[in-house]
Structure 1
Amino acid sequence: MLLAVIAIIAGFALLIWSADRFVLGAAALARNLGVPPLVIGLTIVGMGTSAPELLVSALAAWDGNAGLGIGNAIGSNITNIGLVLGVTALIAPLTVNSKLLKRELPLLLAIMLIGYALLADGRLARPEGGALLLGLAALLFWMVWSARRAQPDDALAEEILEDQPPPMSTQAALGWFALGLAVLLGGAKLLVWGAVAVAHALGVSDLVIGLTVVAIGTSLPELATTVLSARRGEPDIALGNVVGSNLFNILGVLGLPGLIAPGPVPHEVLSRDYPLMLFLTALLFLFAFGRQPRRINRAEGGVLLGVFIGYECWLYWTA
């Protein structure tokens, strides 16, 4: 048990460090190859913050623990909205100015509803996992298209262009990219092994560990990035990080277990966890766009955080 807890802590530390290095290398490499900065900010950086969840989900499914991967996908989305945005709005209320975000948030809600429809029969089969991953490819294509057509005065575009990483040679970028990816794999492997061992020792399901310990841990990069962006006066980047990460989680992190290890979906996912994720997303949409000015204030951040804490307590008592 002690060794498993140490493995979880070490896995989290490696994931957080390597995700940052991986994104830095990938973004610098893309810029050296002539990719526009806004495309890098919307796709590569967004995908990079979800890299820990993607690798943890893939390795868990490969090891026969698909429930941990499903729990990680849904739990990370709940954590991103309830904990990450809740805490961020309490620290610095978030004003929504970007037209890009006004399209992405309704898209997130629509994709979540489609995901629920695919899981409604109680199984996550290969065709459904493949459909979600094809949706991820389509999303990336749409993001690139949107970035190329975005107005220079869009609030999110301005914040991304002002928040560029330092110049780096192609060799150094390749080095950081390769090192980040290798350490990401090692950290994910450690985390999955430790999480499964703790679940067995405590007598709880892989799903619950994925929804709680793993989801919160893999969302720590989003928490750090979002709070930092809000404190620097970049609210659209703060909200965009969460919306982008949640889109990648539904399409990629949830799709991988279906493709690698298809099987039944725990009934708690459909009756408890997925509906709560939908509720939090709808609540976020209401808070962000329900009135003028469009902002998530401290009281609304407290509501999001309160729902998250209540959900974690619910999981504790029912588990």
Structure 2
Amino acid sequence: MDNKLPTLKEIARRLKFSVSTVSRALHDHPSIGLRTKMQVKQLAKELNYEPNQTALFFKQQKTHTIGVILPNLKEEFFSQAINGIEDVAKINKYSVLIGQSHDDIDQEKQIAIAMKNQRVDGLIVSISKHTKNYDHFISLRKYNIPVVFFDRVPDLPTVHKVASNFNTGTKQAIEFLITKGHRRIGVINGPEEMKSSKERIITYMEVLQKKRIKIDLSLIVTTDLTQVKTFEAMKNLLDLKYPPTAILTINDYVALDAIQYARKSKLKINKDISFVSYANLPIINYLEFPPLASVEQYPYEQAKKATEILFDLFNADNIPDEEEKKYHNILIEGQLIIHKK
């Protein structure tokens, strides 16, 4: 019973009752005796029977609704992503339900359960920065609810995902700073559990080694993406005996906080210290002191492709056994956009 939902028929077979008797017992029908009700409910509890979310419903019916779970809609990146999702959904005459995890793993789990209970046909997900275990998404398979991840994706081979190629973007960013004469290049990275954080550091080190620049691990700091932690990261970097002359930040929002701290420290932006970031949000074009450059990650295209994959999964005539399934793993190349020369 691990991979299949228990059914009324299964309960009826085990207790040697009719399906209609089991159904009435679960609904406390007055025609069913107390002993029978207790037997049925006890076995249903043992089997984790869910009367309103049976596998049969998900296999044979569609709600024409997809769910979307994102870290935070106030970020322009995810607002652009929603546009990509909704454009594909509109073409397919589907509605979209949106939930925000606010980077809270418990909230993410609750939303996943709520989406399941709302009987969405599938999910598009960008995981929280703290998500390490993915059971709350993997478990949706037994309900025949496919999940496609984008941007922040699990480091697993057995999931469908679309992401930006961090290796390419990071390589372009570091090489760009080196051409500008920088040798002390710092990194304000994201939480260690994020797949992109690991990829960023690996590529950072590879580029420095290739360019024969000494790697100094004290130049690598982390933030949980809040302003407080980013300020702490900046303080750690600037307090070094030999502080960085340039810093690569995990995203544009972190770059803005880092730039603010640098200015409070009386440093001239892009003269005393330079910044390169990720995302290339539209707000960058309106800043007096923008990062030198930003890696465009194409959130609209990422989310659009993820949604197209989801509808492909809906339309698949034959879904192979789990061990035979081919999982989508799409990488979208980033592009370094120069803001100020």
Write 1 or 2 for the structure with the bigger share of strand. Answer: 2
TM-score range, shorter chain: under 0.3
Whichever of the two has the greater Rg, that structure is: 2
Write 1 or 2 for the structure with the bigger share of helix. Answer: 1
User: TM-score with structure 1 length normalisation?
Assistant: 0.25
